[in-house]
A and B are shown apart, each in its own frame.
Chain A
Amino acid sequence: MESAQIVALVPRLRRYARALTGDSHRADDLVQDTLERALAKFYLWRHGSDLRAWLFTIMHNVFVNQLKARRELALDEALEQGLPSAPQSDPLELRDLDAALRRLPPEQREVLLLVGLEQLSYAEVSKALSIPVGTVMSRLSRGRERLRLVMSGTATATNLKVVK
């Protein structure tokens, strides 16, 4: 019963995870970890409340943990020489916006996607990410401006690095 409700939302979780991570494998790993955790603590979900928002909260926590792990890994890889980069297997048309999204700081990307792609209300985003609505708005504003700059080619890799 309970898992049927969650399973019905898997395509939406995959869509968001794919946009967030920029990589199909990583996205499905993120979804899988999210599902496993959601099933393990499903009894904590209050019936009648928005299951999707709850799942986004869990996914956010998993994502943040994975980022921490990857940051460590990226640092180490930078020290190692000659390691091949991750395979790029997505069709061409995905790459522009997709690549632009990846040049946003993760916290701005999350807000931008939850609002623009998932169409969550600002209050729901605030809850899912455990941040005040004011922070949601400022991240949204900065994320949208950065995305605009990156897409129009005005933002160079160098000044992006300085900002983050």
Chain B
Amino acid sequence: MSNFTEADLHAYADGQLDDARRVQVEAYLAHDAAAAESVRVWREQNEALRALYNPLLNAPVPQRLLAARPSRGRWPYYALAAGAMAMSFGLGWMAQSYRADRFVEAAALPRRAAVAYAVYAPEVRHPVEVGADQQDHLVKWLSKRLGNELKVPLLTQQGFDLVGGRLLPGGKGPVAQFMYQDAKGQRITLYVSVRDAELRETAFRFSQEDKVAVFYWIDGKLGYALSGEMDRASLLAVATVVYRQLNP
């Protein structure tokens, strides 16, 4: 393979060579059966991948993706932009943007909670990772992962029994989701995330995310969101009980 490297063969298989080079490689392959076989296999892999995944190009796109909104994360570009602007506007601007970030972060909570609800509440076979029959283990496990002692509200008086819970990746780390279900099979979830912000509290806030209603609030290091496909007043009644039990 004196004139050719393996990279040339890959480029040939992928159609990334110019005409002159392509002709040279072609001539070479006529005399090297092993190399020709490799190229054949690579092309077959490419074709198999496209055959397998191309149908997804025509699949309907979930609404939540079309409704995606800008997020503000801890991205290097962002840090650069914030830094540059802070230099132009001074520290006052920076303090303001910091507050704005906090606000946006809080707004992401109901949305993530609603998405997590929408994904797992309809699940028939695996709605939770750990069932209510292992409640002690569930609470210990999630508390350990979130690095905070979690409490599971008891909602039987409101008609909801605990189904169980699961660990989810949140915007900045692990998040816990507890799921409840009433006699009719209606489900609600309590989504608990850890915040790296300073201690503070917020009042109840409400957000309607498509069909999912969400009441959310921040209590110290933890952000809570109660989600359900039900009307605002019924959900608020449950949210009030949850809040009271978490803050006796």
Listed in ascending order, the chain A residues whose CB lies under 8 Å from chain B are: 7, 10-12, 14-16, 18-19, 25, 28-29, 31-33, 35-37, 39-42, 44, 61, 66, 69-70, 73, 76, 80, 82-84, 86-87, 93-94, 97-98, 112-113, 115-117, 119, 121-122, 137, 140-141, 144, 147-148
A15 touches B53 (CB 8 A): yes
Q: A31-B65, A69-B169, A117-B50 are in contact. Are A11 and B145 (CB under 8 A)?
A: no
Contacts of A25 in B (CB 8 A): 119
Which residue on A lies nearest to B137, using beta carbons? Answer: A80
| A-B interface pairs (CB < 8 A), number | 120
Among A11, A121, A144, contact of B61 (Cβ-Cβ < 8 Å) = A11
Contacts of B72 in A (CB 8 A): 40
Contacts of B78 in A (CB 8 A): 40-41
A148 touches B115 (CB 8 A): no
Binary interface encoding of chain B residues 16-28 relative to chain A, with 1 for a CB under 8 A from any of its CBs, else 0 = 1000000000000
Of A18, A36, A61, A94, most B-chain CB atoms within 10 Å: A36
A70 to chain B, nearest CB (A): 7
A121 touches B16 (CB 8 A): yes
A144 touches B59 (CB 8 A): no
Contacts of A41 in B (CB 8 A): 75, 77-78, 81
Which residue on B lies nearest to A39, using beta carbons? Answer: B70
B16 touches A73 (CB 8 A): no
